[in-house]
Amino acid sequence: MVTCVNDAMYPETGKAVVTLLRRLGVEVDFPEAQTCCGQPMVNTGYLDEAVPLVRNFVNTFDGYDAVVTPSGSCAGSVRHQHSLVARRAGDRALEEAVARTSPCSYELSEFLVDVLGVEDVGAYFPHKVTYHPTCHSLRMLGVGDRPLRLLQAVRGLKLVDLPKAEECCGFGGTFALKNAETSVAMGSDKARHVRESGAEVLVAGDNSCLTQIGGLLSRQRAGVRVMHLAEVLAATEGSTGHSAGHPVDAAEVGA
Amino acid sequence: MTATFVGMPAFPGAARTALADTQLRQNLAHATGTIRTKRARVVGEVEEWEELRLAGAAIKDNTLHHLDEHLLRLEESLTELGATVHWARDAEEACRIVAEVARGHGVDEVVKVKSMATQEIGLNEHLAEEGILAWETDLAELIVQLGDDLPSHILVPAIHRNRAEIREIFRREMGKVGRPAPEDLTDVPAELAGAARLHLREKFLRAKVGVSGANFAVADTGTLVVVESEGNGRMCLTLPEVLVSVVGVEKVVPTWGDLDVFLQLLPRSSTGERMNPYTSTWAGISPGDGPQEVHVVLLDNGRTKALADTVGRQALRCIRCSACLNVCPVYERTGGHAYGSVYPGPIGAILNPLLKGVGHDDQVDSLPYASSLCGACFEVCPVRIDIPEVLVHLRSQVVDTHRGHKPPKPEAVAMRTAAWTLGDARRLGLAERASGLVGRLTRRGRALPGGRRALGRLPWPGSLWSDARDLPQPPTESFRAWWKRTSGGRG
């Protein structure tokens, strides 16, 4: 699952996931019926509106060995909120389908480390990087230090600590608009910590958090760029973009 | 205290004012940062912390499932031990009961132990209307009361004040209501505490009626428990002839043994101490020792309504430790007043709507949205209240109360439109092509790090984002279009 935000706004992240997974020998598919996991509706309280999206998700992904998504919060929504939405809809068949699709949905770093069992993905990225452990990856999914282990294995990459790393960036979905002032106050402090880290690139596993932090950093002309973890892990010596790769006998995956 | 939260604006508006208060921001960042570190250290020492949390949650859940039985048992135990038990449906009834007891003894003042239940029911204001002065004796409550201010934290209600401001309040106000502050008072914490001790001492020694809440009420033994740091509680609980305690019905625990779990969870979570300095327990009347007339007011005030909510009822496990406030990134920046209630922070954002109900007050309805759902509160909660889960649940209740309204709120229209667009991949693809066109047409934006260009200033509601934050222009080609054009990246 590429996610609706990445599909519409950050296609390079999706391409990086495809490149990376193919490089690791995974057969990747992008079922074109996919849209959105429903998280924006659920988190704003519009549970009925989320029902068709959850239904579309299970119809699209039921049957794949693994559903990989480059977003901690979308993975969190699939694993923790879909059952809630299905229960509310009172649709037994949907509940059963959710019980099949939720457990095999993974955030990218979980899939790489836990399912594929790799930490060195063969990436090369000669830059000074700091990592923001987005809240839903950290606390809802519990991905722990998996992303850091993946980054530490990247050749040329210098990883520096982010002060108060575990504090929220203030994005929070519609919170960023409904409580814009508070959201910006939180994000400004996060941007300050990123600058204090001395990193050139801020990496995270969720482009929505990076939109918030990156949007503040660039407004400040901070000279720090933001990048999705997938794009760093996909980068190799001499590569600037994605490559086709060679699928081999491995689990079939819906990205 | 004459200040009240009545008429407070909804959270976003109140937060806007608070965010501009630089002194407040400074005080809160310092105080919450300090207490957060202390808590993390002492919680980290306890190997079986998770087991304690599970035990605390289980005891509370089991008790709440049989709340009626435990409350009747508590009433029986208390009555046997000479206490008078009153039942109060709401704030009004509870206030009337306390006022009647005070009036019955002909007093015009009472001394108070810090208590959230009496704050919740507005007891001080009610007593003031009847000509009875209620003196707060907790140091922070005293600061709030003298400053004609409002509490902004459950545990440290004057957390928004620094010591220079406290010195100012003491010098200006103490003399108006009793012993004045010393002429040469500085802002050294020990001196400020010394001034409060002297000021309060005459009130402790004079008062005939004490008013308290309780942290726990043990059904089997009829024991009420107050956990505190300063010793002012011990004074109020032992010196007056008459003691009235207002206790929320969810404070009951079945047995004395249950306290074992909570007396470990509470101090480490709240003040970041291994053990609190004073734990006072009393069971009815002890002849010749302490108050000889003891009243207990068991308070509902919305608690049974919260209990009826299958998702929300976990909020009744709360032991008022404030750990969720201290880690909350929203609370740290807005402070407590923005929540418009004596219960601020993440727990306040769920407790107020649960106790008061949603759908009839915009201020209450704004509280479940006063969170980025970061989950830090759930992580520290000693009784494992899944606050983000309850927040989302309450948001759905707020939305559901507005369903079918004509005309629908702009947000509802936006959400339905988004859900419709996202409900079908073909519609989403068309929307992406339209946004890609925007990307092609606005190629002139400022360059962003990474090579993309920024969108300019957006019209409302986009301005809520673009006033302070850049947004990249939509890409000219979506992932979906790329996948199709290149046959999955192979073309």
In angstroms, rounded to a whole number, what is the distance separating the alpha carbons of residues A201 and A67?
28
Own/partner contacts of A87-93, CB < 8 Å, gap of 24 or more, are A88/A47, A88/A48, A88/A51, A89/A48, A89/A51, A89/A54, A91/A51, A91/A55
Nearest to B368 by CA among B384, B385, B352, B383: B352
| 8-state DSSP, A173 | T
Percent of residues in chain B assigned helix, strand, coil, to nearest 5:
55, 10, 35
In angstroms, rounded to a whole number, what is the distance separating the alpha carbons of residues A212 and B468?
10
Least CB–CB distance from B468: residue in A15, A184, A211: A184
Residues 437 to 456 of B: which have CB under 8 A from any A CB?
448-450, 454
Which pLDDT tens digit goes with each residue over B260-312?
999 999 999 999 999 999 999 999 999 999 999 999 999 999 999 999 999 99
Per the DSSP assignment, residues forming a β-bridge with A69 are: A107
| 8-state DSSP, B369 | G
- Whether residue A62 contacts residue A254, with contact meaning beta carbons closer than 8 Å, is answered with no
**Residue of B384, B479, B482 to mutate, testing the A interface (most A Cβ within 10 Å of its Cβ):** B479
What residue has token string 């794949």?
A64
Question: ipTM of this model?
Answer: 0.94
What token pair was written down for A17? Answer: 């996931």
| Rg, C-alpha atoms of chain A | 18
* Average pLDDT rounded to a whole number, residues A197-224: 98
In angstroms, rounded to a whole number, what is the distance separating the alpha carbons of residues A254 and B122?
57
In angstroms, rounded to a whole number, what is the distance separating the alpha carbons of residues B303 and B312?
11
Given its phi and psi angles, is residue B180 left (phi above 0), alpha (psi -120 to 50 degrees) or beta? beta
Least CB–CB distance from B489: residue in A18, A140, A225: A18
Please say if the pLDDT value at position A247 is more than 90.
no
Alpha carbon distance, N-terminus to C-terminus of chain B: 74
Q: Examine residue A229 and state whether it is found in any structural domain, yes or no.
A: yes
What token pair was written down for B454? Answer: 């920024």
Let me know how long chain B is.
491
Cross-chain residue pair A244–B489, CB shorter than 8 Å: yes
> What range does the domain containing A91 cover?
4-116
Omega of the bond leading into B461 within 30 degrees of 0 (cis)? yes
What token pair was written down for A158? Answer: 């210098």
What does the pLDDT read at residue B283? 97
What residue has token string 């239940």?
B117
In angstroms, rounded to a whole number, what is the distance separating the alpha carbons of residues A91 and A27?
32
Phi, psi angle pair for B216, to nearest 5°:
-145, 155
**Residue of B37, B380, B396, B428 to mutate, testing the A interface (most A Cβ within 10 Å of its Cβ):** B396
Q: Examine residue A255 and state whether it is found in any structural domain, yes or no.
A: no
- Whether residue B225 contacts residue B191, with contact meaning beta carbons closer than 8 Å, is answered with no
What residue has token string 């339209």?
B434
Phi, psi angle pair for B248, to nearest 5°:
-60, 145
What token pair was written down for B446? Answer: 């400022």
- Whether residue A17 contacts residue A24, with contact meaning beta carbons closer than 8 Å, is answered with no
Residue ending a domain, choose from A81, A116, A151:
A116
Q: Examine residue A245 and state whether it is found in any structural domain, yes or no.
A: no
Q: Are residues A8 and A112 in the same domain?
A: yes
Q: CATH number of the domain at A163, please.
A: 3.40.50
Least CB–CB distance from A177: residue in B425, B461, B484: B461
Phi, psi angle pair for B420, to nearest 5°:
-65, -45
| Percentage of residues of chain A with pLDDT beyond 70 | 94
Nearest to A187 by CA among B443, B247, B118, B330: B330
What does the pLDDT read at residue B441? 77
* Average pLDDT rounded to a whole number, residues A110-133: 98
In angstroms, rounded to a whole number, what is the distance separating the alpha carbons of residues A217 and B217?
52
Q: Examine residue A198 and state whether it is found in any structural domain, yes or no.
A: yes
What does the pLDDT read at residue A250? 40
Q: Examine residue A95 and state whether it is found in any structural domain, yes or no.
A: yes
Q: Are residues A174 and A208 in the same domain?
A: yes
Q: How many domains does chain A have?
A: 2
Cross-chain residue pair A45–B11, CB shorter than 8 Å: no
Per the DSSP assignment, residues forming a β-bridge with A254 are: A29, A67
In angstroms, rounded to a whole number, what is the distance separating the alpha carbons of residues B36 and B47?
19
Contacting residues of B for A14, CB less than 8 Å apart:
479, 482-483
Q: Are residues A57 and A36 in the same domain?
A: yes
Q: Are residues A98 and A149 in the same domain?
A: no
Residue ending a domain, choose from A116, A142, A172:
A116
Q: Are residues A94 and A157 in the same domain?
A: no
- The segment(s) of chain B belonging to CATH 3.40.50.10420 are 11-303
| A83: number of Cβ within 10 Å | 16
Low-confidence ranges of chain B (pLDDT < 50): 1
Do strands B223-228 and B278-282 pair parallel, antiparallel, or not at all (unpaired)? antiparallel
What does the pLDDT read at residue A243? 37
Own/partner contacts of B85-89, CB < 8 Å, gap of 24 or more, are B85/B295, B85/B296, B85/B298, B86/B295, B86/B296, B86/B297, B86/B298, B87/B297, B87/B298, B87/B300, B88/B246, B88/B297, B88/B298, B88/B299, B88/B300, B88/B301, B89/B300, B89/B301
In angstroms, rounded to a whole number, what is the distance separating the alpha carbons of residues A78 and B414?
22
Asked if the C-beta of B461 comes within 8 angstroms of chain A's C-beta atoms, the answer is yes
Q: Are residues A14 and A76 in the same domain?
A: yes
What does the pLDDT read at residue B406? 86
Let me know how long chain A is.
255
- Whether residue B228 contacts residue B277, with contact meaning beta carbons closer than 8 Å, is answered with yes
Least CB–CB distance from A11: residue in B368, B394, B477: B477
Q: Are residues A102 and A29 in the same domain?
A: yes
Q: Are residues A79 and A151 in the same domain?
A: no
Helix axes B425-441, B410-422, angle to 10 degrees: 110
What does the pLDDT read at residue A251? 47
Residues 6+ apart with CB under 8 A from B207: B107, B109, B110, B111, B135, B236, B239, B240
Q: Examine residue A121 and state whether it is found in any structural domain, yes or no.
A: no
Q: How far is CA A110 from CA A113, A224, A230, B30, in A?
A: 5, 27, 12, 36
In angstroms, rounded to a whole number, what is the distance separating the alpha carbons of residues B152 and B339?
9
Least CB–CB distance from B469: residue in A40, A173, A219: A219
Alpha carbon distance, N-terminus to C-terminus of chain A: 5
Nearest to B359 by CA among B404, B400, B313, B300: B400
Q: Are residues A61 and A136 in the same domain?
A: no
Q: Are residues A16 and A72 in the same domain?
A: yes
| 8-state DSSP, A141 | I
Residues 6+ apart with CB under 8 A from B481: B429, B432, B433, B436
Cross-chain residue pair A46–B468, CB shorter than 8 Å: no
Instruction: Give the chain A residue nearest B374 (alpha carbons).
Output: A135
What residue has token string 């305690």?
B245
Instruction: Give the chain A residue nearest B25 (alpha carbons).
Output: A185
Residues 37 to 76 of A: which have CB under 8 A from any B CB?
40-50, 52-53, 56
Q: Examine residue A9 and state whether it is found in any structural domain, yes or no.
A: yes
What does the pLDDT read at residue A253? 64
Cross-chain residue pair B19–A8, CB shorter than 8 Å: no
Q: Count A/B contacts: CB-CB distance under 8 Å.
A: 206
- Whether residue A179 contacts residue B12, with contact meaning beta carbons closer than 8 Å, is answered with yes
Q: Examine residue A210 and state whether it is found in any structural domain, yes or no.
A: yes
| B194: number of Cβ within 10 Å | 14
Amino acid at B81: L
Residue ending a domain, choose from A48, A81, A116:
A116
| 8-state DSSP, B476 | S
Given its phi and psi angles, is residue A122 left (phi above 0), alpha (psi -120 to 50 degrees) or beta? left
What does the pLDDT read at residue B395? 98
Give the H or E element holding residue B88.
strand B84-88
Q: How far is CA B438 from the centre of its chain?
A: 45
| 8-state DSSP, B250 | G
The reported pTM is 0.95
Least CB–CB distance from B396: residue in A19, A22, A45: A45
Nearest to A147 by CA among A228, A205, A191: A205
What does the pLDDT read at residue A252? 53
Which pLDDT tens digit goes with each residue over A24-55?
999 999 999 999 999 999 999 999 999 999 99
Amino acid at B82: G
Please say if the pLDDT value at position A241 is more than 80.
no
What does the pLDDT read at residue A240? 53
Provide the CATH number for the domain formed by B11-303 in this structure.
Answer: 3.40.50.10420
What does the pLDDT read at residue A244? 35
Burial of B426 (0-12, 13-18, 19+ CB in 10 A): exposed
